[in-house]
Chain A
Amino acid sequence: MCRLFAITSNEPLSPMIAMESMEVMKEGHDGSGVGLMLRDLAGPFEDMKDAPILSGIFTKNGIKRFDTFMVDLGFMTKYKLSIKVSKTPPPETPKRDMYLIRAYEYPKEWEGLSKEDKAQKLLELRLQLRKMGEEKDDMIVYSFWPDVIMIKEIGDPMQVARFLDLGRKELWARVILAQGRQNTNYSINLYACHPFFIQGYASMTNGENTAFIPIRDFLESRGFPGYSGYQSDSEVFTHILHYTTTQLGLGIEYYKHVITPLKDEDINDHHDADFLKHLKHSCRPLIIDGPNCVIGSLPDNSVFMVQDRKKLRPGVIGGRPGLYAFSSEMCGLDAAIPDRDKSKDFQPMYLDTAIVGPDRKEVFVCTQKDPLPPLH
C-alpha cells in the first residue's frame, strides 16, 4: 500500500522532511516511485506568487518543441530552476534529459483576463502540452499553476530525492504533499503517480477505488476538459474535489458528503436533511467505495484528510500550531514532528474531515453529522 505524507508549516521546510518520513515508512512502499507537490513556496518563488510554474520532465527534443510552443504563445520565462543531475541515476530511475521547473510571465494578451479565465487557459495549455508530449513521448507535464511545483519520478524516494537534490533552498515550501508508491503496474506511467493536480486542487490516496469506472464515466461526461486522461483510479478523488468546489461551489465540508454520503436514516436526522438528500441523489455516481485515505490540498493552502466509509486506511494528523503533518503511518509523523503533544494526534474516522487551514492554527474537524455551512 502506498505511503502518504503531507506537512503544512508557517516556516518554509525542505522537501527532504517528507522524504525522511517516507524513508521510515519504507516497509509500506516498494520504492517504485515518488511524487511531490510543493506549494506556498519560499525561496526565489516567494516573490512571484502569481506567476504560473510549469513542472515536468522533458527530452532534449521535447524541451525544444516546448520552448518554441511557449514563445509562440508569448510566455516569457521569469525564473528557471535548473536541476542538474549526475550521469548515473539511481537503480530503476530512467535517465532523463531535463527536469523542468520554470516560472513564467503571462503573455500580454492574458492581461485583463479574469482569474477564472486564466485558470481555464492554464488548464487547457497543460492538457495541450500533455497531448503533445504523448504524441512524441518527449514531455511529461505535471502542473502549470502559480505557486505550485510538482516532481514525480520512478525509483526509491530517498535515492530519487538525493539524486535530484530536493533539499535545495529553492524548493523549500510551506505545504508539501508526498507519496511513496507501492507499484501495482509493471510499466509505470508517471501520469499515474500521486499527488494529482488540477487548477490548484491536489490530492493523493492510498488504497484502491473500486468504484473507479462509473466515477470516471461520470466525470468524463461533465464536459470539463480537465476531467480526462485517467491513468489511475485515484485521480478521480482530485477531480471530485475540484468538481465539488469549483463546479458546484461547495466548500470542503461538503466533499465527504459527495464521496461517502450518509446513510438515509442519518440524513433524515441531519440538520440539512433535504439538501443532503438531493446532493446524494444528484452526485450518486461520485460515491466512492474505498478503501481509501485521501490527503488533499486546496488553493488556499489548506490541507485535509478524509477516509472512505468503512474500510479506513490508516491516517493520522499531529503537530502544533504553525506546524502540522498528515501521515499514513504514525512513524512517518513521528519522524517529521517528534516533539509534539501526541495526545492531540487525530485519526479521522469514517465521518470526519480533518482540515488544517492556511493559518495553521489548529486541526479543524468536521463530521458529516454536523450542520453544514450556509451555501453562497
Chain B
Amino acid sequence: MYPKRSLTPSTLSVKDLPWQISWDQGKCTLCGRCTAVCPVQAIELGVFRKREVSTEINLMSLPENNIKIWYGIRQKTDPAYRCVGCAMCNLVCPNNAITPIRSDEIDKLRFHTNAGGQPRRRGGRRNNTESLLDQIKFIRISMLTDPALDAGRHEFEIRTMLGRILSPEENLLRIKENGWIPPVREIYPLIIGGMSFGALSPNMWEGLQMGVAYLNEELGMPVRISTGEGGCPPRLLKSRFIKYVILQIASGYFGWDEIIRAIPEMKEDPCAIEIKYGQGAKPGDGGLLMWYKVNELIAAIRGVPVGINLPSPPTHQTKYSIEEAVAKMIQSMSMAWGFRVPVCPKISATSTTLAVLNNLARNPYAAGLAIDGEDGGTGAAYNVSMDHMGHPIASNIRDAYLNLTRIGKQNEIPLFAGGGIGKTGNLAANAAALIMLGASGVQTGKYIMQAAAGCLGSESDRCNICNIGLCPKGITSQDPRIYRRLDPEAVAQRIVDVFLSFDTELKKIFAPLGRSTSLPIGMSDALGIDDKSAADRLHIKYVV
C-alpha cells in the first residue's frame, strides 16, 4: 500500500484478489508484452525502489544504504482492474516469467464487485466443477451372447431427427390421404448451440460456419448450428449454407427484420427455427449483449443503434402467456416458411418443464423441445443468475422423456439437451449419457468455444469477460484489433477435428453396448451411477 493511499472499505490487497500475479524478476526481459496483452490492464510497468543495507565486518566502517531502482510488473488492486486469470500474460511471455495464480482462499473481491450498486455481471459458466453426467457409467457391455461391435469397422447410423414425427398410424394415414406431414430433418446428434452473431466475433462465427459447411459437404456429417439470438448475416441467409443453420428467435427479436426480408431470396430453407424462451445460464432472464460489443456491424444486423446495451426481455412481451406464445409463435414461424421448416422451442430446464412439454405434445406443429440445463454458458449475465438459478439437465431430460413415454409420444417430440455437456472435457460420454436418458440429441456451446477457438474460461472463474468485448482470444470480441487474433480457417479446422473425434468416441461407447443401427435414445438399461439417490431419481442402475 502506498503511504498516501486511503484505507477505504473496498481497499484490497493483491492477496484479496482471486488471481494473483506471480512474476519472476530473474526471468523477465521487460519486453512489455504481458502488459500490452492484458485485456483488463491488471498489470502495468512498475518502478520499484529498494533499499539495500551493506555492513562491513570491519567495525571501523559504517553501514551504508544503497537505494536501488528496478523495473518490473505491478498488479493493480482496484476492483475495476483486477486480474481475471486469463493468463494471456503467460501465453505471450518469452521466458515464462509471469503467470496468474488462483488465490488459496475465497477472495475478498467478491464482496466489492458491486460498485455503484451494480452487481457483478460476467460471461462464462457456473464456476462449479461438479458434473453428474461424468458420474454416469455405461455398464451394459455386450459379452458372449451378443458380441460387441467394432467401432472402427461396422457401419453406424449416428443420426437423429429434429421435427415433429407422427405416430406410425397417423403417418401412414396422412400418406394415404395425402395430408400434411410435418417436416423432419435428419441431423447429427451434436448441435452447436446458440451463440449469437454479436456475442461471438465475426471471425469466430465465420470459422464455425466454415467448419459446419465442411463437415456437411465434404464429410457427409449433417451437423447443424444454431444462430443464437442476434440474426444472421444476409449473405449467409441467401446462401445454400443456410440449410445447415437453425435460426433462433428470442424475446428481443434481434435480427429478425433482416431474416424476414431475406425469405423471398432464400435459396434453401433453414434447418429449423428455434424459439428461445429461456437459457440455462440465466434462466428466466432475457439475453444480454452489452454496449461494448454493439458496433456498427452488429447494430446493422440487429436493427438497433450503435453502442447501447441490448437486454432482451425475459419473456416474449407480445404474448399473453407462454402457452399462447408457444402456440402462436410456432404457428407464425411455420407459416413464414410454408410449413416446410420445423419450429422448436428452447427453454431453461425448470421444475415446470413438464407443463411446457405437455402443452407442446398437444400442439401438432411443435417440432421438438430443447432444454438447457443450469450448466449452460453465456456471453453475459448477472453472476447471481449464473451461479444460483436453474435446474440440472439430467433429471429434467429424464423426467421429460419418461413423461413422453407415458403418453406414448417419446418418438414424436424429440428432446434436445444442453447445459454442461462436456464441461470437464467429456463431450461424447456426457452426450451419450443424455441420449440414453432420453435426449434425441445434445447442444453444446462452451465446449466448442474451448476446443475450436481456445477459450480460456474454466470452472475457477477464469477470464469470464465475454460480456465486455475484451475476450483475449478474439472469440467474443467485436474489436477488430482483438478478433484478428483468431484465424477463421483455424477455427473451421478445429471444428472438424472436434466432430470427427466426437464421432469416434461416440462409436467407442455405442459399439460395446451392441448399438449401431439407431441412436440408443432412452436405452437407460445401459446406464449406472454410484450414487443411490441419483440412480433412483434417474431410474437407472445403482452400481458400486
Contacts and interface: CB of A to CB of B under 8 A. Distances in A.
Contact of B147 (A222, A243, A288, A311): A311
Interface stretch (A73-81, A82-90, A107-115, A275-283): A275-283
A243 B168 CA distance: 10
A264 B140 CA distance: 28
Interface of A: 1, 182, 184, 207-208, 210-214, 217-218, 221-223, 243, 247-250, 260, 263-264, 274-275, 278-279, 281-285, 287-291, 308-311, 375
Contacts of A248: 168-169, 172
7 nearest A-B pairs in the assembled complex, by CB-CB distance? A210-B514, A221-B408, A208-B146, A287-B518, A282-B171, A282-B168, A214-B522
Contact of A283 (B146, B168, B513, B522): B168
B146 to A, nearest CB: 4
A214 B407 CA distance: 14
B184 to A, nearest CB: 6
A264 B186 contact: yes
B366 to A, nearest CB: 16
A223 B165 contact: no
Given A221-B407, A278-B175, A279-B171, 10 more contacts: A211-B517, A214-B410, A214-B521, A218-B411, A250-B172, A263-B155, A279-B168, A282-B165, A287-B517, A310-B155
12 contacts: A184-B145, A207-B145, A211-B515, A211-B523, A217-B522, A221-B406, A282-B166, A282-B167, A284-B165, A288-B517, A289-B516, A291-B146
Interface residues of B, number: 42
Interface in B134-160: 140, 142, 145-147, 149, 154-155, 157, 159
B contact face: mostly helix, strand, loop, or mixed: loop
B184 A281 contact: yes
B167 to A, nearest CB: 6
A250 to B, nearest CB: 8
Contacts of B146: 207-208, 210, 290-291, 311
Contact of A217 (B159, B165, B186, B405): B405
Interface of B: 140, 142, 145-147, 149, 154-155, 157, 159, 161, 165-172, 175-176, 181, 184, 186, 405-408, 410-411, 513-518, 520-525
Most buried by B among A213, A290, A308: A213
Contacts of A274: 175
Contacts of B181: 278
A218 B410 CA distance: 7
Contact of A285 (B142, B155, B410): B410
A211 B520 contact: yes
A264 B154 CA distance: 16
Which of A184, A210, A283, A375 has the most B CB atoms < 10 Å from its CB?
A210
A282 to B, nearest CB: 4
A243 B149 CA distance: 29
Contacts of A290: 146, 517
A290 B145 CA distance: 11
A221 B410 contact: yes
Contact of B161 (A211, A279, A281): A281
A259 to B, nearest CB: 9
Contacts of B523: 210-211, 213-214
Contacts of A214: 410, 520-523
Nearest to B513: A210
Nearest to A285: B411
Contacts of B172: 248-250, 278-279, 282, 375
Nearest to A375: B176
Contacts of B166: 278, 282
A275 B174 CA distance: 11
A309 B517 contact: yes
A69 to B, nearest CB: 31
Contacts of A208: 142, 145-146, 514
A212 B408 CA distance: 16
B411 A282 contact: yes
Contacts of A243: 168
Nearest to B401: A217
Contacts of B165: 281-282, 284
Given A212-B525, A221-B405, A263 B518 contact: no
Given A211-B520, A282-B171, A287-B517, A264 B159 contact: yes
A289 B518 contact: yes
